[in-house]
Structure 1
Amino acid sequence: MGEVVESEIPNGDAANGDGAPPEEPSAEAGELPLSKSARKRLLKQQRREEKKAEKKKAAKEEKRRKAEERRREWQEKISSVATEEERAAIEESRLAARRERMEARAGERERKRQKLTKGMEEGQRIVVDLDFPGLMAPAEINSLMQQIMYCYAVNGRCDSPCHLCLTGCTGEIATQLQRLPGYDKWLIRKESKPYPEVFHDQKDSLVYLTADSDNVLEELDPSKIYIIGGLVDRNRWKGITMKKAKEDGIKTAKLPISDYLKMSTSMVLTVNQVVEILLRFLETKDWKNSFFQVIPQRKRCEAEGDEEEDEYDGEMKKICIEKSPEELE
């Protein structure tokens, strides 16, 4: 979902979490069947996810191996010390270093909490619309949860976080959100009602971001509330966010992607990619830089006269995987 809504397969682990490729939902009434090229893209993505799952498993094993090696080295160091006094001094030094690391982490968490609190009070309002009941298979909901976790992580890393809000948090969506690390302590607005009800008195300020809009977003207006459709649908539900915005009487806009680069695939991005693009633009006021920093190399062609390398693809996933539940709070 991205630039809007009907998101492509997300960048992340295999959606079912066990390394197996995501299941393709069966066609239902109202769905558009997958084209041959779409099936090829899906197969390619499944293979990519399998490879990422293998890399994740290898990285976990390497981390375990290094931890075991450190423990062994520590035991050898202690064993080589002759006196109890020397052993006690070494142990105290180790504990002091550990306390220092823990204090540094606690300080970083507090600074992050202060930034997010300020963002909730003053930041640009960005809403993820999760009110798409029945349109996603379990594997797709799983993928969406990963994207939301990335959104929260990248918002916490920004110097000036946005006011992030989730609407339509009911049913299976609410159940899956509760399973995210530290979700109950996240500094984020959570609403069970759909966005038209949550912002019923601010309807004129709402702008739904969708790739199907004719309106190009040139700047971010602090007085506006930008909505991103939280839907992972393998491109089955074409134009659904545009239709939803029209039915709700909400203004629409699309990111100016085509003004700065050519996409090798569709201009539909994942939820976390759209959120990070908006956050980067808020900091830099530079759309081109924001797109190049966020949109994976595999999804874009060269911009005119620019062969800038992209290092984003997979970065957020690595950050979220390596963070403890406390650090994600």
Structure 2
Amino acid sequence: MVAAAANDDNGVDNDLKPDSEPAPANLSPPAEQKPLSKNAQKKQVKQQRYEAKKAEKKAQEKEHKRKEGERKHKEWEETLANATEEERLKLIESRKSLRKERMEKRSEEKEKKMERLTRAKEIGQNVVVDVDFAHLMSELEISSLVQQIMYCYAVNGRSATPCHLWLTGVKGEMSRQLDKLPGFEKWFIEKESRCYIEAMADRKESLVYLTADSETVLDELDPESIYIIGGLVDRNRFKGITMNKAQEQGIKTAKLPIGEYMKMSSSQVLTVNQVVEILVKFLETRDWKTSFFTVIPQRKRTGGDLVDSSKSEPLSEEHQDKEGDEDEKHDLLERKKLCVEVPLENGS
């Protein structure tokens, strides 16, 4: 399977040789920061430009939302003002009824999600996102990874057969940025400051690091195994480090069987959230081809790859819309509103 560790912009690598991957456990930050290359400087400037544009767009959307709210309120007031007393009472009662229905439906959906996530914690597939690489990333890169984690949680919460998600190595800047996410303290997810090798010391034999450098192809998900996805936005700075980390720790490795179902274009890395979504989709369908074609954006596949409609589901709208890296990042931000906020258990 793939190590979801390497990130292009904010990506994680998968079945195909990643351009990069997360770092070994014993990697420590360099004593001295090397000056950035010209290419790295250009990327940094581009990222800063993107962040500024993103902030501006967010402010515009907020203002648009405020104006829409004012417009709708004004329309409602005018409707009431032009109605007879009897009509006013009916309109108000109808509005209260609709609001009550929406609240009840939302509460019911939340309860069902809670039941699914609770069941996943008891008997579901354990999937770990290893975020113990903050010392290798800039604040912007950590922010990018945090957005991917947010999307992972939202996708998992909506699934009919969710996995049980873990975050290990949550500390320092990574912990601070995660804490800024709306409702993060209520997420139904395991949060560990320790590395998975310590947090799951009694289940070491079950640990499987997903890395593109592995020679073992993952044909099936073993419910007894704990699959680890490396979380690192490394911009090609680190190569093979998830494999090295797993070997140093003496744990198993595997890679996704992507090459058996499709050819990838020059961009051979997937984001952490894409890897998690592939696993979740596979848990639903038990079909790798459907999972890959549903999740992996068209731009990452060669033009000759077509979806087999007899075996694969059509691409969802949210993936059809991901035509560019900036659009994809913006989509991750939009997913904030979809995160499932449920109470934690056992302080997880």
TM range (shorter): 0.7 to 0.9
Q: Is structure 2 residue 118 aligned with structure 1 residue 143?
A: no
Partner SS for 1:231:
coil
Question: CA, structure 1 residues 116+309, in 2 after alignment: closer, same or farther (shift >3 Å)?
Answer: closer
Partner in structure 2 of residue 10 of structure 1: 10
TM-score, with structure 1 as normaliser: 0.82
What count of residue pairs does the alignment treat as equivalent? 312
Deviation by residue 1:35-70 (Cα, 9 ceiling, x = unmatched): 999888888888887777776666555544433332
Contact 1:32/1:236, CA 8 A, preserved across alignment? no
Q: Give 2:229's aligned amino acid.
A: I
- Amino acid across the alignment from 1:229: G
* Residue 93 (structure 1) aligned with residue 73 (structure 2): no
**Contact 1:3–1:254 (CA under 8 A) maintained in structure 2:** yes
Counterpart secondary structure, 1:164: strand
Change (3 A) 1:309 1:119: closer
Q: Give the one of 332, 336, 343 matched to 1:317.
A: 332
Answer whether contact 1:32 1:237 (CA < 8 A) is retained.
no
Name the stretch that deviates more: 301-310 or 170-179: 301-310
Judge which range, 276-285 or 255-264, deviates more: 255-264
Moved more, 258-267 or 146-155: 258-267
Counterpart in the other structure of 2:115: 114
For the Cα contact (< 8 Å) 1:4–1:228, is it kept in 2? yes
**Is residue 3–residue 242 contact of structure 2 (8 Å, CA) maintained in 1?**
no
2:165 match:
164
Aligned residue in 1 for 2:70: 68
Q: Does 1:229 align with 2:244?
A: no
Partner of 1:245: 246
- Render the CA deviation track for 1:283-323: whole Å, top value 9, x for unaligned: 11211211111111222213555587674134963751443
> Would you say the 8 A contact 1:261–1:303 is kept in 2?
no
CA-based RMSD of the aligned residues comes to 3.3
1:275 maps to 276
| Cα pair 2:114 2:342 within 8 Å, conserved | no
2:151–2:336 Cα contact (<8 Å) kept: no
Equivalent AA in structure 2 for residue 8 of structure 1: D
Deviations 1:94-151 (A, max 9, x none): 1222122111111111111111111111111101111124101000111111111111
User: Runs of 5+ in structure 2 lacking a partner?
Assistant: 12-28, 309-313, 323-327
Matches within 5 A, 1:137-216: 137-216=138-217
Structure 1 window deviating more from structure 2 (191-200 vs 262-271): it is 262-271
Once the two structures are superposed, residues 173-214 of structure 1 have per-residue CA deviations (whole angstroms, 9 ceiling, x without a partner) of: 122221111111111111111011111121111110011212
Of 191-200 and 299-308, the range deviating more from structure 2: 299-308
- Structure 1 residues 327 and 47, CA gap change in structure 2 (3 angstroms): farther
Q: 1:6 to 1:295 in 2, by over 3 A?
A: same
Conservation of the 8 A alpha-carbon contact between 1:7 and 1:234: yes
| Structure 1 range deviating more: 269-278 or 234-243 | 234-243
Contact 2:4-2:271 within 8 A present in 1 as well: yes
Post-superposition offset of 1:165 = 0.8
SS at match of 1:274: helix
Distance 1:257 1:39 in 2: 33
Between the aligned partners of 1:260 and 1:184, the Cα distance in structure 2 is 39
Q: 2:261, 2:38 → 1: CA distance?
A: 29
1:77 paired with 2:79, answer: yes
- Counterpart contact for 1:181–1:328, Cα < 8 Å: no
The equivalent residue for 1:17 is none
